[in-house]
Amino acid sequence: MASALARTLKENILSSDLTIYDEIKIGDPNYWIPSNELEELLSEQLVGVDLNGLALRTRSKLVKEEVCRGIGYDAPRTFIKTQPRFLGQNFDVYTQKSNNLQIWNEEISPARRYVLIRISDNDIITKVKVVTGDILSELDKTGKLTQKYQAKLMAVLENVRQFSMSDTIEMASVVGQYQGFDSDTSPSNYPNTGEIMPIDEVFQRLQSIVGKRFSYMGALQERNRGGLLHSLVCSALGYSNFKDDGKFPDVKHQLIEVKLQTSPTIDLGLFLPNNEEALDIPLVNGRPVRMCDVRYAIFYGDVENDEVVIKKFYLVTGKDFFQYFTQFGGKQVNKKLQIPLPNNFL
């Protein structure tokens, strides 16, 4: 069942004159539908829809019409070929009978949403999942999708250092109102005014992790090791629980991206930290949250006796990132991107 926020946003759109082509500011509290709420509304509308016997072109149009109804828009008589197809809410739609997702003639956009609709063997819609481009990029195992952005720390003598002494100017008024939060707050919640720590407070709390150790678990367990560090970060920040929804940034409530490094090369995925594009997060105190506003907590660990020992910690805003880290590598895009989805993804 869709949440109260999702239903309110749908009603707002229903009451407006907006079309799917009218661009909405990301994070707009009245009309922008965040990914979680978008998935709720579309699941409620589409799951159970029968497409049996329809020609491919007819099926495609019907699905798009149902998508419009699900989020409060009138379906246009003819769907214009825009990029993305649902321009106002910044998403594309893909219907999937198989686990092979195909994207033609364009690269994956990190901030764009991709609505993946599972269709059963008897042509019934059974599942809707909304993901952003950065999550899709993680699913490519062929090496043909893109060459991800990578960076390396410049020469720094200190093992612990706060590179950015203040948050971005645009976020200063927001973090300046910090009053604290309940310990049972989920770290994956949307950030709220009065609950976002200033960057110096984040630094004071997270430097306590230096010296901590946890199981290495083998060379192929990078994701699980990251989860252990993420848990330590949540605890140091004052959360009583650890939750990771797999989306950028890792600790959404505090706008913190966590990196664990057992090698010099930092994988940045499709996001350049200094990108000024707005994230799929509701406005905070009337301001959009941009990629460059995110705080990067970068921990370097050594492997000792099958354990990772945290030896270094650096904190920097996305805006300042490349003052201290060198970017290298490029980006290459194929004309046709084929991404095998895990069996349990949809």
pLDDT digits (tens, 9 = 90+) for 165-223: 999 999 988 888 899 999 899 999 999 999 999 999 999 999 999 999 988 876 557 77
| Residue 35 located in a structural domain | yes
For the record, the structure tokens of 242 come out as 């650890």
| Residue 346 located in a structural domain | no
Among 16-30, 41-55, 74-88, 137-151, the range scoring the smallest mean pLDDT is 137-151
Q: What is the mean pLDDT of residues 105-110?
A: 70
Q: Are residues 14 and 101 in the same domain?
A: yes
Q: Are residues 236 and 110 in the same domain?
A: no
Q: Is the pLDDT of residue 22 over 50?
A: yes
Which residues, 6+ apart, have CB-to-CB distance to 42 below 8 Å?
Answer: 67, 70, 71, 115, 128, 130
Element (H, E) at 150: strand 149-153
Q: Are residues 135 and 153 in the same domain?
A: no
Res 244: pLDDT? 74
| Residue 144 located in a structural domain | no
Q: Are residues 132 and 153 in the same domain?
A: no
Number of structural domains (the chain) is 2
Q: Are residues 86 and 180 in the same domain?
A: no
Q: Are residues 102 and 161 in the same domain?
A: no
| Residue 39 located in a structural domain | yes
The DSSP code for 72 is T
Q: Is the pTM of this model over 0.75?
A: no
| Residue 345 located in a structural domain | no
Q: Give the closest residue to 39 by CA, choosing from 110, 128, 124.
A: 128
| Residue 287 located in a structural domain | yes
Q: Are residues 171 and 311 in the same domain?
A: yes
Q: What is the mean pLDDT of residues 307-328?
A: 94
Q: pLDDT confidence of 101, banded at 50, 70, 90?
A: confident
Res 340: pLDDT? 63
Is the model more confident about 330 or about 319? 319
Q: pLDDT confidence of 15, banded at 50, 70, 90?
A: very high
Query: How many alpha carbons lie under 13 Å from residue 117 in its C-beta half-sphere?
Result: 29
Distance CA 161, CA 156 (A): 9
Q: Are residues 232 and 318 in the same domain?
A: yes
The DSSP code for 324 is H
Distance CA 180, CA 71 (A): 34
Q: pLDDT confidence of 2, banded at 50, 70, 90?
A: confident
Map tokens 């910090």 to a residue. 178
Q: Are residues 174 and 125 in the same domain?
A: no
pLDDT cut 90: percent of the chain above it: 58
| Residue 286 located in a structural domain | yes
Q: Are residues 135 and 160 in the same domain?
A: no
Q: Are residues 164 and 211 in the same domain?
A: yes
Task: Give how far the C-alpha of residue 283 lies from the chain's centroid of Cα atoms, to the nearest Å.
Answer: 16
Q: Are residues 122 and 235 in the same domain?
A: no
Q: Is the pLDDT of residue 4 over 60?
A: yes
Distance CA 103, CA 105 (A): 7
Which residues, 6+ apart, have CB-to-CB distance to 13 below 8 Å?
Answer: 31, 71, 72, 73
Evaluate the CA torsion angle 1, 234, 289, 312 in order and state its sign. Answer: negative
Distance CA 260, CA 244 (A): 15
Full domain range(s) for residue 260: 149-328
Res 335: pLDDT? 41
